[in-house]
């Protein structure tokens, strides 16, 4: 499997992402934001976390206009698999590849800690190795992780099983750290080839670091090739 990882000025999780996929046996390539094309053998495109362009204007708002994003949009619209993590999720919403928006956390503070997530829908390649109702422990690290969508959009997400993960406690009960609508932590598009989440599965690959629950998430992509 070939995983292409985007890098913008301010991205800081590209090497964590590279390490995670290499540990799972994938080939990786980091692509700078000024590139106008993606590697032709890309099986999965990851928009990594960080603070692209310093999060000026809005998180992901400037990165959305980088030259590489035209190729990203074409790749996604042709059915290519795309994963946006944290700032990558923000970039994908700004680019219109995922519905909704990410805004400032309710508490107006940066949050960095491990947090439980409940699997809501596993009928997709990202979460197919997990079961609905499973609770996983994945780190979060964001200032603008408060997911928002209007009531019509929210209904559509639920009707199409596009809500993938919600913030919870260890027993799966709602525990919302940032004010996200319906405690949403991750979603996908209708076609289920573009995925976005605020938590960091690439940081949950080794028990010595607190959790290895990210492994099954990322393995789903590998097994889809």
Give the active site residues: 86, 200, 202
Neighbours of 222 (CB within 10 A): 17
Inter-residue contact 185 to 117 (CB < 8 Å) = yes
Measure the CA angle with vertex 192, ends 126 and 132; round to 5°: 50
Chain centre distance of CA 10: 17
Nearest CA to 138 out of 49, 87, 210, 219 is that of 210
- Taking the alpha carbons at both ends of the chain, their separation in whole angstroms is 7
Run of H or E residues at 153: helix 151-159
Strands 111-119 and 135-142: antiparallel
């Amino acid at each position: 499997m070939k995983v292409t990882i985007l890098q913008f000025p301010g991205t800081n999780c590209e090497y964590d992402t590279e390490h995670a996929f290499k540990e799972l046996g994938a080939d990786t390539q980091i692509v700078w934001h000024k590139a106008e094309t993606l590697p032709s053998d890309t099986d999965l495109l990851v928009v990594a976390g960080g603070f692209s362009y310093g999060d000026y204007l809005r998180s992901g708002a400037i990165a959305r206009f980088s030259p590489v994003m035209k190729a990203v949009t074409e790749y996604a619209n042709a059915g290519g698999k795309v994963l946006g993590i944290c700032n990558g999720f923000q970039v994908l919403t700004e680019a219109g590849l995922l519905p909704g928006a990410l805004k400032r956390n309710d508490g107006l503070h940066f949050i960095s800690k491990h947090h439980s997530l409940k699997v809501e829908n596993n009928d997709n390649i990202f979460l197919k190795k997990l079961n609905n109702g499973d609770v996983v422990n994945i780190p979060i690290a964001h200032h603008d992780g408060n997911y928002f969508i209007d009531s019509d959009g929210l209904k559509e997400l639920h009707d199409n099983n596009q809500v993938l993960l919600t913030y919870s406690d260890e027993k799966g009960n709602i525990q919302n750290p940032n004010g996200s609508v319906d405690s949403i932590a991750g979603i996908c598009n209708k076609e289920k080839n573009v995925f976005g989440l605020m938590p960091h599965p690439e940081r949950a690959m080794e028990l010595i670091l607190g959790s290895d629950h990210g492994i099954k998430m990322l393995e789903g992509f590998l097994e889809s090739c």
